[in-house]
Amino acid sequence: MTSAWKNRVQFNESSGGELELWFDERLILKHESSSPMIYLGVGHESVEMYRGNFDIEDYLEERVALRHIEWEETAESVNLHLKPYAGSSFTLQASIQLYNDQLRIDFTPSEPVYNRFWLRVSASEEEAVYGCGEQLSYFNMRGQNFPLWTSEPGVGRNKSTYTTFLADVKDRAGGDYYNTNYPQPTFISTEKYICHVATTAYAEFNFKNQAWHELQAWEIPEAVWFETGESYKDLTERVTEHFGRPPELPDWTYEGIWLGVQGGTDQVQHKLDRARQKGLKVGALWCQDWQGKRVTSFGKRLMWNWKWNPEMYPGLDEKVKEWKSEGVRFLGYINPYVAIDGDLYEEASQKGYVALTADGHDYIVDFGEFYCGVVDFTNPAAYEWYKSVIKDEMIDFGMDGWMADFGEYLPSDVHLYNGESAMIMHNAWPAIWAKVNHDAVKEAGRWGDIVYFMRAGFTGIQGTCPLLWAGDQSVNWSMDDGLASVIPGALSAGMSGCGLHHSDIGGYTSLHGNKRPKELLLRWLDMAVFTPVIRTHEGNRPDDCFQFDDDEESLEHFVDMTNIYTALAPYTKAVVQETAERGIPAQRPLFMEYEADEVAYQLQYEYMYGPDLLVAPVHDENVQDWTVYLPEDKWVHLWTGKAYEGAGEVTVEAPIGQPPVFYRAESAYASLFASLPKQKVYSS
Amino acid sequence: MTSAWKNRVQFNESSGGELELWFDERLILKHESSSPMIYLGVGHESVEMYRGNFDIEDYLEERVALRHIEWEETAESVNLHLKPYAGSSFTLQASIQLYNDQLRIDFTPSEPVYNRFWLRVSASEEEAVYGCGEQLSYFNMRGQNFPLWTSEPGVGRNKSTYTTFLADVKDRAGGDYYNTNYPQPTFISTEKYICHVATTAYAEFNFKNQAWHELQAWEIPEAVWFETGESYKDLTERVTEHFGRPPELPDWTYEGIWLGVQGGTDQVQHKLDRARQKGLKVGALWCQDWQGKRVTSFGKRLMWNWKWNPEMYPGLDEKVKEWKSEGVRFLGYINPYVAIDGDLYEEASQKGYVALTADGHDYIVDFGEFYCGVVDFTNPAAYEWYKSVIKDEMIDFGMDGWMADFGEYLPSDVHLYNGESAMIMHNAWPAIWAKVNHDAVKEAGRWGDIVYFMRAGFTGIQGTCPLLWAGDQSVNWSMDDGLASVIPGALSAGMSGCGLHHSDIGGYTSLHGNKRPKELLLRWLDMAVFTPVIRTHEGNRPDDCFQFDDDEESLEHFVDMTNIYTALAPYTKAVVQETAERGIPAQRPLFMEYEADEVAYQLQYEYMYGPDLLVAPVHDENVQDWTVYLPEDKWVHLWTGKAYEGAGEVTVEAPIGQPPVFYRAESAYASLFASLPKQKVYSS
């Protein structure tokens, strides 16, 4: 064994058959006959998808404890041979190695008997855990079980709300606390280690037990690895060393708001003119309907045939150039499906690029009153073709970015070109979809300049997706699906290595009586200013959503807050640079900056924006003031300049336009921060 | 081996290790290495009770296939030694014997390692299964999984209804298709056998698989037995041979309606006077509030101190005699809990008759804004004492019957006198509660004369409870919790050996905006006339429920339909006599009389009432006519005398007062049936 191994890895064996694995003085695994570290099993799942919502049941036929361990030491590894009992012909080999800085356990079963795997990772009672992709209801996941399966995030996401009830009854779409577009089998523990399970299978991470975390996967994973760190910044740096980091956002990003507008060339020009006349700095126009739209009972939906629609957007090819010359970029929209009534589908189908049913027909997926084929990215030719669609129809058209939507809808029974089970490929799909976009942009030489943004994710998007957005919040104040839910979403994605995050300003989903009130839109903007990108969305039913230009007061508020956003750019750029270079998330939990503060570990509705800004967004309606927890430091309230010192709760006035934000008195950016309130031209 | 064994039991062993057990030419068990017949496991349940509603989760740690079988033949039995693998020190002995007419398998584990048990009983694709106590949503249980745990049945009982949503959110009380007051681990298969699992532990019977039924119990059960029969009547006769049969109902039962009225002596007398003036035949007054009442947000609740309340019911002791002399019996109410503000609780607590918490205090149960102790019937002294309460306070007071309510609320963590786990005693409790009543009545020499009626049940109540009632339906038309649900309830209870059933006329639960309409009350009465007992209930919120005497038309309808009920008595008595003597249920599925009719096996909203009446209650609102399936026979429509012949659907006019009922033209009671319409005095 190497000396590094000897210094860092320790096995303790007791005469009673107990085995402990310590790594950098952390108890990682503990095997006792009453609590074996690994169980294997045989399950028979039933998976039903309805428009991206999944009913998943597992009939668990066997779950077998691997109680018996035989030990073998080689030059590079310790190999454990785990068996249900001493004489069993079945063996799971767990080969434990130090690989770079990782403690890596590779698993090799002697026979393909089992399709269920559980690993118990040792836990302490006070431990907290974060990550698992983007989690919208719980930042600290301790005490809950988290199914990890990319899907629609749910409407309401809380079975005790009427919105969720209606969404469930009408569309099977209500969701629950764990539903997310972006799951990932990776977490960071307050014992200061990373744990990652190398699998794309359905997984559940169960953090309910006092003594262990139980990590389940619906296959025997290739490997599980652990890596320790000195600090939480160190840990996110290490996470992104493995999974990748985004480039810095291009400078044009910071030049103004990205206006989500639609309806055709004239309509968009009109909205742009009015906004600019008022003084709104517009960095980009985001027109998701550049390829046309259709109307369904859900709301206005897009055409899903990824080509400029000149009937709806006459002269757009020239307009894009004109706008760009005026400093306004053009952003579009694409997703990995092609509507069956479009010519791209026709081409894909003819060439055999569409994923198939068991009997060899194109697998047609219901997206809600219209139907699509799934482009089969496991077919290299289809992958190439879709890249060329992005290059030819979008990049060459002059786009500087787009929403790369969806990725969660791979049906679990689809037949893929590469022969892999769709149960294994389902979770991988968002990462492959990110890679298609990444490769197209990279090959066009535009990586770091073009910005696409995704809601779906999985292991690996860290390096292939420049920007996350938080998916489809309801246009309301609910904790699990409204404005508030974006914050734990950003924090957990950040701990998972996706450090650049933003959201639809005002939220998206207006269903079952939910209509977006003006107050929600303005509060959402107030929060968004302290994220890397500010972008509006008209919502699925624009007529039921208050819009940025629905009255003068709102438009003026957008002018003022966008001014603050652009004025903050020097700081934001520095923060984003740190994300790009080291993987440290732009929006980060308080404990990442204040490790000693015990309270900080339980907060999920306030965050540090970079090292120097503390942001506690107002996420309730009719609020006059807001109570904020401040860790031990010298703080200045952004709007009043009032100084605070020491740890504890403070209550500040928090009218619209003055989101509770504090800066560190000793920040190098203190004078920039102090100047921000003066950026407002309409109010002060 | 006996010759009976040789004739009836057959083992087939294949060289591939496959084992089949055939009994009377039915394949009962099949063991293959890919589908072993028995699995054992270790589970850790978490059980939370809130007012009789249970959240039950099982963390299944191990589930082990017993793949290895060793065989031993003795003079009386075949003993199978089942092991996880050949060399395992653990053995489950399954001792298979012919015991009277039963194929009985006794289980003995070599060590107490496992607390979960699954047995796969062979099934055929077309097979249907019935029973499992009283099932209100599915009569044929094939295709569903049925948790068997006595509890509140739920309000709404269907997660897609708004009533259930509100009940869940406000009181955790919505329930689901399987929730029932009366579960029982017994079913009858269309392969014409009975299967019973001898356990009182939590159980689940899973009928979802094509090839087997999987019977789960949260202990290794003492035994599982099978018994075959020639016909479904033969099978219910055999079921009741084991579990008991009720006595015939006393003649006074048939003399009129049991009026559920309350509010004190004057109020009751007033209601009785008005009803009798109108000509209503009243068989009994049922006054649940004889012991006083309290008002909670749920509605009017009773005092739960089981003694005459002379403040509320002055002179009741004399009134009871007076009413009886006029042919009107007096019925009361009791349940197995004592409210902590009553003197019975005080006495029970002092004497140590109340079940305890882990730290030795009285276990106090929340019944909804008031609190009770649980009388610990496992303490023989407490059992005796409660019997004496029934004898002294109820029988000696002059009651001819009562509602023996509840029995489902034994908390899973209560400490009992007999030292048994409450997880094991919970399901047993309703049967013990029935036995307390039974013994009190029997010792008073009044068995077969006094009638008490229960909603809770378990294995054994067949012989100790004279009459079931269907529990607390919502006062609406919902299939899972309204009028309709009573019918599969009666049929499944009947297949489980409880052949006498009735329900609250008009339903009970008025919550979350549900109010009982007049039409529902009258339709419910129309159905009830064709059950052994007709009894009204004012509901939990009488002011939100239409009552029998709320207008003249309704009162007249009650007079007319009660006349039909009393006129039908000669037939009803004969039907009930068959239940008492042979266990054949009064309300029975069509296939019990028409075995060859394939359609009959799928019907759960029409039934045979005895051998000669076919009843298809109207269970929808605003109905003018009703479609009824008739099996192959000669039928006469009760109200029009119109003759029908042959199998198929017919549609008849079905106004209120003319429930769709047909009689067999060749019935010995044909002239009685033909005379029924003439019994109406107010309408015809």
Burial class (CB in 10 A: 0-12, 13-18, 19+), A35: middle
My answer on whether B227 and B306 are in the same domain is no
Where in the sequence numbering do the catalytic residues of A fall? Answer: 405, 408, 472
Question: B64 vs A33, B116, B518, CA distance in Å?
Answer: 16, 10, 56
> Quick check: is A367 in a domain?
no
Domain boundary among A243, A265, A297: A243
Q: Which two tokens stand for residue B603?
A: 């019907």
CA distance B39 to chain A (A): 8
Helix (H) or strand (E) holding A241: helix A232-243
Angle at Cα A88 formed by Cα A83 and Cα A90, nearest 5°?
65
Query: Which residues, including other chains, have CB under 8 Å from residue B651's CB and lie 6 or more apart?
Result: B625, B626, B627, B628
Q: How confident is the model at residue B684 (pLDDT cuts 50, 70, 90)?
A: low
My answer on whether B610 and B490 are in the same domain is no
Residue B382, classed as helix, strand or coil, is helix
Helix (H) or strand (E) holding A285: strand A282-286
My answer on whether B608 and B568 are in the same domain is no
| Residue of B199, B198, B200, B208 lying closest to B178 (CA atoms) | B208
In chain B, how many domains are there? 3
The pLDDT tens digits for A270-326 are 999 999 999 999 999 999 999 998 777 777 787 899 999 999 999 999 999 999 999
CA distance A501 to A503: 7
Cβ atoms of A331 and A258 closer than 8 Å? yes
CA distance A623 to A484: 14
Cβ atoms of A299 and A305 closer than 8 Å? no
Contact A88 B88 (CB under 8 A): no
Task: Report chain A's terminal Cα–Cα distance, integer Å.
Answer: 66
The pLDDT tens digits for A489-527 are 999 999 999 999 999 999 999 998 899 999 999 999 999
Domain boundary among B243, B263, B292: B243
Q: Which two tokens stand for residue B335?
A: 């349940």
CA distance B632 to B617: 20
Q: What's the per-residue H, E or C state across B17-55? A: CCEEEEECCEEEEEEECCECCEEEEEEEEEEEEECCEEE
Res B241: pLDDT: 97
Mean pLDDT of B47-74: 95
Half-sphere exposure for B358 (CA within 13 Å, toward CB): 2
Query: Which residues, including other chains, have CB under 8 Å from residue A15's CB and lie 6 or more apart?
Result: none
Of the candidates B393, B472, B480, B593, the residue annotated as catalytic is B472
Burial class (CB in 10 A: 0-12, 13-18, 19+), A622: exposed
Burial class (CB in 10 A: 0-12, 13-18, 19+), A529: buried
CA distance A227 to chain B (A): 28
Res B294: pLDDT: 79
Question: B527 vs A608, B182, B663, CA distance in Å?
Answer: 67, 22, 15
Domain interval for residue A610: 590-679
My answer on whether B468 and B605 are in the same domain is no
CA distance A268 to A266: 5
DSSP classification of residue B306? -
Cβ atoms of B322 and B285 closer than 8 Å? no
Residues of A in contact with B512 (CB under 8 A): none
Residues of A in contact with B65 (CB under 8 A): 61-62
> Quick check: is B357 in a domain?
no
Contact A62 B39 (CB under 8 A): yes
Burial class (CB in 10 A: 0-12, 13-18, 19+), A356: middle
Residues of B in contact with A41 (CB under 8 A): 63
Cβ atoms of B187 and B239 closer than 8 Å? no
Contact A62 B61 (CB under 8 A): no
Half-sphere exposure for A598 (CA within 13 Å, toward CB): 2
> Quick check: is A364 in a domain?
no
Four-point Cα dihedral B96, B97, B102, B105, nearest 10: -30
My answer on whether B619 and B658 are in the same domain is yes
| Residue of A115, A104, A62, A69 lying closest to A88 (CA atoms) | A69
Four-point Cα dihedral B557, B558, B561, B564, nearest 10: -130
Residues of A in contact with B162 (CB under 8 A): 165
* Amino acid symbol at B45: E
Residues of B in contact with A111 (CB under 8 A): none
List of long-range contacts for B81-90, beta carbons under 8 Å, 24+ apart: B82/B38, B84/A84, B84/A85, B85/A84, B85/A85, B85/A87, B85/A88, B87/A85, B87/A87, B88/A85
The pLDDT tens digits for B616-640 are 999 999 999 999 999 999 999 999 9
Mean pLDDT across chain B: 96
Nearest neighbour of A63 by CB, restricted to B63, B162, B169: B63
Question: At A641, which CATH number?
Answer: 2.60.40.1180
User: In residues, how long is chain B?
Assistant: 684
- Which residue(s) pair with B163 in the sheet? none
CA distance B435 to chain A (A): 38
Which of A37, A42, A61, A145 best tests the B interface by mutation, with the highest count of B CBs <10 A? A61
Whether residue A1 has pLDDT greater than 80? no
For residues B82-95, one letter each, b for 16 or more C-beta atoms within 10 angstroms of the residue's C-beta and e for the rest, the string is bbbbeebebbbbbb
% of chain B with per-residue pLDDT over 90: 94
Mean pLDDT of B654-676: 98
| Residue of A368, A349, A346 lying closest to A357 (CA atoms) | A349
Res A684: pLDDT: 64
Burial class (CB in 10 A: 0-12, 13-18, 19+), B380: exposed
Q: Which two tokens stand for residue B458?
A: 């378990």
CA distance A218 to A59: 12
CA distance A60 to chain B (A): 8
Residue A268, classed as helix, strand or coil, is helix
Domain boundary among B553, B572, B587: B587
* Amino acid symbol at A29: L
The pLDDT tens digits for A220-252 are 999 999 999 999 999 999 999 999 999 999 999
| Residue of A337, A444, A439 lying closest to A395 (CA atoms) | A444
> Quick check: is A490 in a domain?
yes
Cα nearest neighbour of A163 on chain B: B165
- Which residue(s) pair with B293 in the sheet? B302
Contact B65 A61 (CB under 8 A): yes
Q: Which two tokens stand for residue A349?
A: 């189908």
Cα nearest neighbour of B66 on chain A: A62
My answer on whether A82 and A183 are in the same domain is yes
Helix (H) or strand (E) holding A227: strand A223-228
The pLDDT tens digits for B73-91 are 998 899 999 999 999 999 9
For B187-255, the DSSP string reads EEETTTEEEEEE--S-EEEE---SSEEEEEESS--SEEEEEE-SSHHHHHHHHHHHH--PPPPPGGGGG
| Residue of B160, B156, B66 lying closest to B107 (CA atoms) | B66
Question: B73 vs A259, B70, B79, CA distance in Å?
Answer: 83, 10, 6
Cα nearest neighbour of A34 on chain B: B61
Residues of B in contact with A61 (CB under 8 A): 39, 63, 65
Q: Which two tokens stand for residue B229?
A: 């029969």
CA distance A645 to chain B (A): 43
The pLDDT tens digits for B603-615 are 999 999 999 999 9
Cα nearest neighbour of A42 on chain B: B63
> Quick check: is B673 in a domain?
yes
Which residues from A are below 8 Å from B when comparing CB atoms? 39, 41, 60-65, 84-85, 87-88, 159-160, 162, 165, 168-169
CA distance B670 to B663: 7
Mean pLDDT of A542-571: 97
Nearest neighbour of A63 by CB, restricted to B62, B84, B168: B62
Mean pLDDT of B515-520: 98
The pLDDT tens digits for B353-396 are 999 999 999 999 998 888 999 999 999 999 999 999 999 999 99
Question: At B30, which CATH number?
Answer: 2.60.40.1760
Residues of B in contact with A87 (CB under 8 A): 85, 87
| Residue of B590, B627, B594 lying closest to B609 (CA atoms) | B590
My answer on whether B457 and B396 are in the same domain is yes
> Quick check: is B371 in a domain?
no
My answer on whether A126 and A56 are in the same domain is yes
Question: At A396, which CATH number?
Answer: 3.20.20.80
> Quick check: is A600 in a domain?
yes
Which residues from B are below 8 Å from A when comparing CB atoms? 39, 41, 60-65, 84-85, 87-88, 159-160, 162, 165, 168-169
Please count the residue pairs, one from chain A and one from chain B, whose beta carbons lie less than 8 angstroms apart.
41
Which of B44, B63, B216 best tests the A interface by mutation, with the highest count of A CBs <10 A? B63
The pLDDT tens digits for A430-463 are 999 999 999 999 999 999 999 999 999 999 999 9
Mean pLDDT of B266-285: 98
For residues B426-456, one letter each, b for 16 or more C-beta atoms within 10 angstroms of the residue's C-beta and e for the rest, the string is bbbbbbbbbbbbbbbbeebebbebbbbbbbb
Cβ atoms of A156 and A481 closer than 8 Å? yes
CA distance A32 to chain B (A): 14
My answer on whether B128 and B257 are in the same domain is no
CA distance A531 to B410: 54
For A47-83, the DSSP string reads EEEETTEEEEEEEEEEEEE--EEEEEE-SSEEEEEEE
- Tell me how far apart the 2 most distant CA atoms of chain B are, in Å: 81
CA distance A569 to A684: 20
> Quick check: is B168 in a domain?
yes
Contact A168 B162 (CB under 8 A): no
User: In residues, how long is chain A?
Assistant: 684
My answer on whether B230 and B263 are in the same domain is no
My answer on whether A69 and A205 are in the same domain is yes
Q: Is B408 marked active-site?
A: yes
CA distance A503 to B469: 56
My answer on whether A266 and A177 are in the same domain is no
